Structure 1
Amino acid sequence: MGPKQRAAEAALTHVCSGMVVGLGTGSTADCFLSALSAALCQGRLRDVRGIATSRQSENRARELNIPLLSPADARPDVTIDGADEIAPNLDLIKGMGGALLREKIVAQNSRRLLIIADSSKLVAVLGTRSPLPVEVATFGHSLHVPFLSDLGATPRLRVNADGSPFLTDNGNYIYDCRFSRIDDPASLQQTLRTRAGIVDCGLFLGMASIAIVGDQQGVREIHAP
């Protein structure tokens, strides 16, 4: 069992029968979906319903026979999702899977956000490993490039394998913004939010309560201060 699978299995200890669970997007979150499906099939958990954070996780949950609700139907008891970077205080960069807006909507409505990851996602300072995804409206999207560059980023429009722009589930584009480091993520997030046409960014600040981190030896829990 690899580090991602170890973290996903450990996350099941935070899920009880009857819960509503926000279902994250990405390879690590997919490990959790598989673990949750197995627990339901084996009767270790009952009456757990999910709220998907993307079409990808919705389709995967249906394949695995995990019952689904819409976001308006219930408040998740916990959302379990991956991350691209995890700072020591559990501030996060997310969104390399292309679902940052829906992930944030579900996470902010959840009673708890639990992150699962392998140890490579731990960083001392945000922005040192992963680019910061910034979701933008398609109209006039290139006008954001100089704005993002002035903030210290090297922005790059995310594209598909055929070179066409990647479209989010919301019909928007994503600019992956490479910083050398993000020393003041709260200020950066606020600045991005003031710009018309920028929908949101992959900074998840003060949202996660626990990170379960797997490595070759096992798993450990990191709690927010």
Structure 2
Amino acid sequence: MVASTASLAPPCRSSLSFTSSSGRARAPPPRAVRCSAPSDIDAPPLLRAAKYTVDRYIKSGMVVGLGSGNASCMAIKYLGQQLRAGTLEDIVGVPTSVTSASEAAKSGIPLDDYQGCSQIDFAFDDADIIEEDTLIAVIGRRKLEGGESIIQEKFVLNAAKRIVFIITENKYKGALDGSVPVLVQSVWRRPSIGHADPFGGDFPVVTKDGHNVLDVIFTSPIANLVAPLWLYQKVEFPLSIVR
């Protein structure tokens, strides 16, 4: 799998991360790139990044994972324009959410579901934050219509041969922090005082598959990603965490 980020702001910038068979990623420094259409020089950076992603990475005959979020919506609309113009042909889209499926249908992109595809050649998506050195991305913080499809979003991204995250430059961070969405199959809320109460506290977001989305809050940057992974493995069984 090849993971990339399209982060275009004057001057246009992009960075690529190639993942080896061992799963370790190496990220060369950001390099300057040329936007695909000089006439778009006054367009918002995120729109130029979305167009560059389609022009640079999508070829006729591909099965394409369609991400969720503002930038992905721009890319979907532009992909539809390219299909109508005949620049691209025989594209099949695999949506990651209800919103991306709706936008793709309006844009005239033929759709298939994740289970019906033998392979996904390429996928693009929004990301909430990306670690600069590793290009590890956090998705699922945004609360948008269709956000309940986060598990479908993860499946599509994991199945794609190549991924591009379309982001603004301020989404790059030296270290990950803040909230990390975690999906669990069941939730039992226990107060610090009194009896156990399955209905206590605020209700979490529930996906269309019935999974609860809980936010794990990191109040300081994660210096070593191995430590949270070890904790995840320790609590995975009793909490029924969904991968």
Which residue is 2:105 aligned to? 62
- Contact 2:204/2:214, CA 8 A, preserved across alignment: no
Please state if 1:10 is matched with 2:52: yes
AA matched with 1:87: E
TM-score of the two chains, using structure 1 as the length reference:
0.72
Q: Take 1:3 and 1:48, find their aligned partners in 2: how far apart are those partners?
A: 25
Equivalent residue for 1:183, pick from 201, 211, 223: 223
1:169-209 alpha-carbon deviations (Å, 9 max, x no partner): 32222122221222222442353252432224xxxxxxxxx
Specify which structure has the bigger relative contact order, considering alpha-carbon pairs within 8 angstroms and separated by 6 or more residues: 1
1:152-191 aligned at under 5 Å gives the runs 165-179=204-218, 180-191=220-231
Equivalent residue runs for 1:59-138 within 5 Å: 59-74=102-117, 75-88=119-132, 89-97=134-142, 98=147, 99-127=149-177, 130-137=178-185
Structure 1 residues 24-54: Cα deviation after superposition (integer angstroms, max 9, x where no partner): 1112211111111111111111111111112
Displacement of 1:84: 0.6
* Superimposed CA distance per residue, residues 83-138 of structure 1 (whole angstroms, 9 cap, x where no aligned partner): 111112211111124343212211111111111111111000011xx42111222x
> Do the aligned residues in 1 keep the contact of 2:187 with 2:212 (CA within 8 Å)?
no
Higher Rg: 2
Q: Partners of 1:172 and 1:90 in 2: how far apart?
A: 27
The gaps in structure 2 that reach 5 residues or longer are 1-42, 193-200
Change (3 A) 1:167 1:119: same
TM-score by length of 2: 0.67
Give percent identity, aligned residues only: 29
C-alpha spacing 1:141/1:48, structure 2 compared with 1 (3 Å): farther
Candidates 32, 37, 43, aligned match of 2:75: 32
> What root-mean-square deviation, in Å, do the aligned CA atoms of Structure 1 and Structure 2 show?
2.3
State the distance in 1 between where 2:226 and 2:124 align: 23
Give me the whole-angstrom Cα distance separating, in 2, the residues matched to 1:113 and 1:190: 26
The answer to whether the Cα contact below 8 Å between 2:140 and 2:181 also exists between their aligned partners in 1 is yes
Structure 2 residue matching 1:113: 3-state secondary structure: strand
Paired with 2:230 and 2:110, the residues of 1 have a C-alpha distance of 36
Q: Distance in 1 between matches of 2:111 and 2:173?
A: 34
Distance in 2 between the 1:189 and 1:5 partners?
A: 35
Shift of 1:72: 2.4
**1:54–1:169 Cα contact (<8 Å) kept:** no
Mapping 1:135-154, distance limit 5 Å = 135-137=183-185, 139-142=186-189
- Structure 1 counterpart of 2:121, one-letter code: D
Aligned length: 181
Mapped contact 2:205–2:214 kept (Cα < 8 A): no
